[in-house]
Amino acid sequence: MTTYLEPRQASPPLPQERGELSRAVITALRSAAVRPDVPQAVVDAAVPYGEDLQLALYVLYELHYQGFADVDDEREWDPALLTLRAALERRFLAALRGDVPLPPTAHDALDGLLIEPAGHDPDSVSHHLQREGELWQLREYAALRSLYHLKEADPHVWVIPRLHGRAKAAMVAVEFDEFGAGRPDEIHARLFADLMGDLGLETVYGHCTDAAPAAALATVNLMSLFGLHRALRGALVGHFAAVEVTSPPSSRRMAAAMRRTGTGPAAARFYDEHVEADAVHEQVVRREVVGGLLASEPGLDADIAFGVGATGLLEVRLAEHLLAKWRAGDSALRSARPAPRTS
C-alpha cells in the first residue's frame, strides 16, 4: 500500500466565497485589521441550508481544527468572528429544530435506524453505489466525504470533558479505536486518506472544500455545532450514536462497491474496518454512552433524539442532491470532477 504525506501536515488556503456572509468571513480572515460587518437583516434573510451560510459556518468552524494558511491562529477566538458565528448558528439551529420530527424517546429514535428497507433502497447512496455506481461517482463521494473523514472523530472528542462516569469511559474507549488504538497508520482519517489515494484523489486536507455543495458542508457543520456547545452535548451524543448504528450496513455496501469497480485494497479496507469496528461500537454507544448519559442526565433524552433526527435529515438532503445529479448524468460537485493526485 502506497504511503502518502500526512494530509493535515499543512493548513489549507481559504476557499472561494459564495455570497455576502462567506465574503465577510473570508475577507476578515485575510486581514487582521478587518472585522466582519454583516447586518442582522442579511443573516435573517440567509437560507439556513444554503451555500453562503453553510460555507461561512464551515470556514469559522475550521478555525478550531486545522485553520487556514496565512491566517493567524489567534483568530480562532476573535470576538467579532465569534459573534457572527453565533448569529449564523442560531439561524441554522432554528431551521433544524423546525424541520426535525422528534420521536417519543432517544431509544425510539435509535430503534428506527435499525430497520433497513427491504431490497434495494432507491433513496440510499450506498445502495446505488453498490448496485450500479460508476467509478467517477465513487470518486465524487469520497471527495465530498473527505471534509469529515480526513478529521474523522475529531468533532466528537469535544463531548468527552462534558461527560462523566459510564458515558465518558465508553466514549473514550470508542474514540481510542477511531484514532487507531495507539497506531498512527490505523487512525481512521489515515485510512480514508489511503482510500482517496486508491481512487487517485488528492489527499491534502481541505483540498475539496470549494467542490463541496452546501448539503455536504451542512453534514460536517452539524458535528461542529454540537461539539462546540456544552448545551448541545446530548445532541452530539445522538449524532455519534446515529453514525455508529447506521455505519455497518452502509459500510458493507460501500466495500462491495469499491471491490466491484476495482478501486484497490485500501479503498475497500476503510469500509471493511468500519463494518467490523462499528458493529461493536454500536452496542457500546447505545448501552454505555447513551445509556450512561441518560442514567445521569435523563433530561437530555429529547436532545439525544434531536441529534439523531438532525443527522438523518441532513444525510437525506445530501443523498437527494447526489442521486438527483448522478441519475441525470451530472457531477454532484460544484466544480469539475475531482482532479487526480499530482504527486
**pLDDT value of residue 280:** 79
206 with 93, same domain: the answer is no
What CATH number corresponds to the domain at position 283? 1.20.910.10
161 with 258, same domain: the answer is yes
226 with 244, same domain: the answer is yes
215 with 193, same domain: the answer is yes
Domain count along the chain: 2
93 with 113, same domain: the answer is no
**pLDDT value of residue 9:** 80
C-alpha–C-alpha distance, residues 76 and 78, integer Å: 6
Residue that the C-alpha cell 445509556 belongs to: 291
148 with 219, same domain: the answer is yes
C-alpha–C-alpha distance, residues 310 and 329, integer Å: 29
**pLDDT value of residue 115:** 72
C-alpha–C-alpha distance, residues 237 and 300, integer Å: 10
Q: Alpha helix locations (H) across 199-232?
A: 214-227
**pLDDT value of residue 5:** 59
Q: One digit per residue, pLDDT tens: the chain, 343 residues? A: 444 457 778 899 999 999 999 999 999 999 988 889 899 999 999 999 999 999 999 999 999 999 999 999 999 999 999 999 999 999 999 999 999 998 899 999 999 887 765 456 778 999 999 999 999 999 999 999 999 999 999 999 999 999 999 999 999 999 999 999 999 999 999 999 999 999 999 999 999 999 999 999 999 999 999 999 999 999 999 999 999 999 889 999 999 999 999 999 999 999 998 887 767 788 899 999 999 999 999 999 999 999 999 999 999 999 999 999 999 999 999 986 555 554 4
Determine, yes or no, domain membership for 336. no
Contact in structure between 310 and 222 (CB atoms under 8 Å): yes
**pLDDT value of residue 290:** 96
Count of Cβ atoms closer than 10 Å to residue 214 Cβ: 22
**pLDDT value of residue 337:** 56
90 with 142, same domain: the answer is no
Determine, yes or no, domain membership for 334. no
Sign of the Cα pseudo-torsion (62, 271, 210, 23, in order): negative
Determine, yes or no, domain membership for 4. no
C-alpha–C-alpha distance, residues 322 and 327, integer Å: 8
Determine, yes or no, domain membership for 12. no
224 with 80, same domain: the answer is no
- Domain housing 242: 106-327
Determine, yes or no, domain membership for 284. yes
Name the domain boundary from 99, 130, 152. 99
**pLDDT value of residue 279:** 74
Name the domain boundary from 65, 99, 133. 99
Contact in structure between 270 and 70 (CB atoms under 8 Å): no
C-alpha–C-alpha distance, residues 241 and 286, integer Å: 7
94 is written with which cell numbers?
432554528
Alpha-carbon dihedral of residues 336, 334, 262, 131, nearest 10 degrees? -130
C-alpha–C-alpha distance, residues 105 and 4, integer Å: 45
**pLDDT value of residue 2:** 43
122 with 203, same domain: the answer is yes
**pLDDT value of residue 117:** 58
CA angle (186 as vertex; 183, 192 as ends), nearest 5? 150
176 with 292, same domain: the answer is yes
Name the domain boundary from 99, 121, 137. 99
